[in-house]
Amino acid sequence: MDIKDFWKVKSMEDFTEAEWESVCLKCGKCCVLKSFENGWALFSNRVCDGLDMYTGKCSRYETRLCADCAKVDINLVRDLPELLPETCAYRMLFEGKGLPQYHSLITKDDESVKKAKQRVLDWPNVHSSKDIRNELMSLSEKSLKESWSLDKLDEEENKLFKRYPVVFVAKYPIPGKTQLPNQMIIDLKFEKSDTDI
């Protein structure tokens, strides 16, 4: 077997750093703001402001261990796979499903995830929280945390949230779980979307 097929012969714990990184689809789905309710992981159309909305990649990958980002390592995949979408390559490998067929390690095509429309940028009506953060900051001196609380929004700010509505665009089951910790949850009122999948 070709050594390039390391994911088929090595356990995830034994991946080198380079191998671990190469498994990531760079789909950005783990950067989506989400909520966990009644046994479902609900993925919104709002993404972390670190996600570059042109490339679909993290703009601060080296220092991403900020308050709203958890590093995707073997511990997270093993202990809290539900934090990741079912299509996450790490989760799929961990669950014994192998890599998805559109993975560039299989296709040898760096664009194959994009072509398969599996990047979060391909989800409908996706907005960066940076859009809102920048506009909110230009309106007031409030801290971001305060600004996220809808109860405290003034009329101008409420208009902004209407311009960037938060909807669920994906829904994944959480077997046996109803509540999970998530550092990326923000206190927003979510609207149900017809595009739930």
Residues at the interface with ligand SF4 (CB under 6 A): 24-31, 48, 50-51, 58, 60, 64, 66, 69, 72, 84-85, 88-90
Instruction: Return the bridge partners of 44, or none.
Output: 168
Cβ 59 to ligand SF4 shortest distance, Å: 7
Cβ 172 to ligand SF4 shortest distance, Å: 11
Q: How far apart are the first and last CA of the chain?
A: 37
- Of 58 and 153, the one with the shorter C-beta distance to ligand SF4 is 58
Cβ 194 to ligand SF4 shortest distance, Å: 24
Cβ 43 to ligand SF4 shortest distance, Å: 10
The DSSP annotation for 59-105 comes to: TTGGG--STT-----HHHHHH-GGGS-TT-HHHHHHTT----TT-HH
Query: Torsions phi, psi of 37, nearest 5?
Result: -145, 135
Amino acid symbol at 50 = G
- Of 104 and 140, the one with the shorter C-beta distance to ligand SF4 is 104
- Of 25 and 42, the one with the shorter C-beta distance to ligand SF4 is 25
